[in-house]
Amino acid sequence: MCKGKQRQKNEPIQTDLFIGLEKPDDSERDGSPDRGDAGVELCSRLRRQQTLTNNLLDQIADPANVIQAYRQVARNGGSPGVDGMTINELKQWLNTNLNQLQTSLLKGTYKAAPVRKVDIPKPGGGQRMLGIPTVTDRLIQQAIHQKLSPIYEPYFSPYSFGFRPGRNAGQAISQASQYVREGNVWVVDIDLEKFFDKINHDRLMHRLSKVITDKRLLRLINAYLKTGMMQQGLCEQRTAGTPQGGPLSPLLSNIVLDELDRELHKRGLRFCRYADDCNIFVRTRKAAERVLRTLISFIETKLKLKVNRSKSGVRRSDEVTFLGFTVLSDGGIRVADKSTKRLKDKVREITKRNRGVPFSQLLDELNTVIRGWSNYFRLANRWLSNLRDIDGWIRRKLRCYRLKQCGRIYTTYKLLRSLGVGERKSWNVVMYSQGWWSMSRKMAVSQSMNPMWFARQGLHSVYLRMNPKT
């Protein structure tokens, strides 16, 4: 039976009923007096929550919820799983098999298919393993997510920003900037080694069972966790991890790492977490080193996860890359060097001179990249002048590509003449240049294919999109 008692200021609520999911009230954050019946109210609320999950699978398998899940899966798109069924084929399959699917879920006879293993390159080097479920399994996982997320979401930390409705990386960066402006310039940068591949199934299922009382649903989630991974016809069984690629994995990862959030809250630490990327902000190096040492012990002993010691460490904020940004010592925000390099790598890939695609198509592809990149990094408010250099470099890459399209000396000469370059200057450019890259920086070329010319062709400017007031 739950009994209320007076708690000391800032003492976290403790309950064995809903371990790690109790929602802190405002009194814990501002230090105001606590009500004596807070513990009773909390336990009562949590018991009601458990009662609501007794038949949760019935709500998940409800046709209306499944149809809503299909619409979301269709919006997300994605490639087929091991059975080859596409998103378009799923709609037809669902029209004739919805009742059968519902019955198999409720009777516990539904069998999850293996996921298709795909390795993709990571931006910093190495490979990231994705597990692509079949579209049917993606549908069911999305249906589960739609019912589980409203249950867990209210109890997650306000400083957790990844894979949550209404939250994004920009909010995490803004929070980090605020911490630094308050004087917390030392960052404990925690890197979890292959986090999604190393989630402990037993600990995760134990945490889920504290909230979910529908045993059928727990068995279904456990089946998804243990589903094999198939590559080149061979199926490899899994004893840990929840592969990235399914709709349920992000929510499960937040449930696992909410335990870390709670520990950081309990210690009174300032932090931002986006999925498995977590930064803690403190005032002194000595305090940061102590936090790092104790957190490594907590993560590896309690959470059964592995900290990558070579990537984790204590650094000043202006030495840390967090979600592609760097927060300067005064709280200013700039684009991290690695992010700029990745943009340039993508531009190089698009503007390869041997691609042989029309110039207009090349501009469309570049504009897509520029729009996406500038929208993500729009929070940056320092070092924006560096983006002028990127714009200039992109234009030179495009000049080089356009000149090479001409192929021959006379055709190149005709292009320059059509751009308004004088006859003599045009001949000098084509006769005395050592290669297309050298030709692209000739004054006659850069003046005729100037920023206004590129603007008329429709090319976006990185600098102007990031600094629209200019």
HEC string of 192-226 equals: ECCHHHHCEHHHHHHHHHCCCCCHHHHHHHHHHHH
pLDDT of residue 36: 43
* Nearest Cα residue to 46 out of 21, 72, 77, 78: 21
Q: Are 314 and 285 in contact (CB under 8 A)?
A: yes
Full-model pTM: 0.83
pLDDT of residue 19: 43
As a whole number, the mean pLDDT across the chain is 86
Mean pLDDT of 391-420: 92
Q: 15: pLDDT confidence band, cut at 50, 70 and 90?
A: very low
The share of the chain scoring above pLDDT 90, in percent, equals: 66
Dist CA 220 CA 207 (whole Å): 15
pLDDT of residue 470: 61
Q: Are 374 and 462 in contact (CB under 8 A)?
A: yes
Dihedral of CA 310/315/321/323: which sign? Answer: positive
State yes or no: pLDDT of 173 exceeds 60: yes
pLDDT tens for each residue of 128-148: 777 889 999 999 999 999 999
pLDDT tens for each residue of 269-324: 999 999 999 999 999 999 999 999 999 999 999 999 999 999 999 999 999 999 99
pLDDT of residue 1: 39
pLDDT tens for each residue of 61-105: 999 999 999 999 999 988 888 888 999 999 999 999 999 999 999
CA distances from 359 to 348, 373, 399, 421, 448 (A): 15, 21, 10, 20, 16
